[in-house]
Chain A
């Protein structure tokens, strides 16, 4: 999941932003969002028995 998040965030950062600083900030934002939202979604799904 982490590898997937890193690669997708990298591509999106280069598509949507220009300049190293902007890209780095956007990359970290996307990567953090991927990881945190995945953990939150997994935590919510944990209570469901299916």
Chain B
């Protein structure tokens, strides 16, 4: 009574395979562009807000003369800085390859700019986790 009938072999269920593929695609898209994963899951309001907020935060960070740390694995904190920056996805890679975000450590706004860029990347990581939960049906 009230117990949901499960298929005999869940891996053979085409809906299950489709769900896994959709989850992976949405998470990957969200990692590339903030909010794109939610857009694929038709969560338009979240998608727009996440894209807007994270993009503004990243752009403001660059405007405040932040430095975009490259993939330098020489020291531990360098790795953390890189991960924080690169969490923003394609925005980071595009700007980094264009040579933007060279940073000016003498500027008053340098630390604030770095904080904005790190936070944009870390927020996008949270957004990807949210995409994962929604795609799996844990959240609506």
Contact = CB atoms under 8 A, between A and B. Distances in A.
Given A14-B46, A15-B126, A7 B115 contact: no
In terms of DSSP, what is the predominant structure of the interface of chain B? helix
A18 B50 contact: no
Bin the interface of chain A by size.
Answer: under 10
B116 interface: yes
A7 B53 contact: yes
A11 interface: yes
A11 B54 CA distance: 8
Nearest to B130: A15
A3 interface: yes
A4 B115 contact: yes
Interface string B103-138: 000000000000110010001001100100000000
B140 A18 contact: yes
B56 interface: yes
B32 interface: no
A28 interface: no
Interface string A3-15: 1100110110011
Contacts of A18: 140
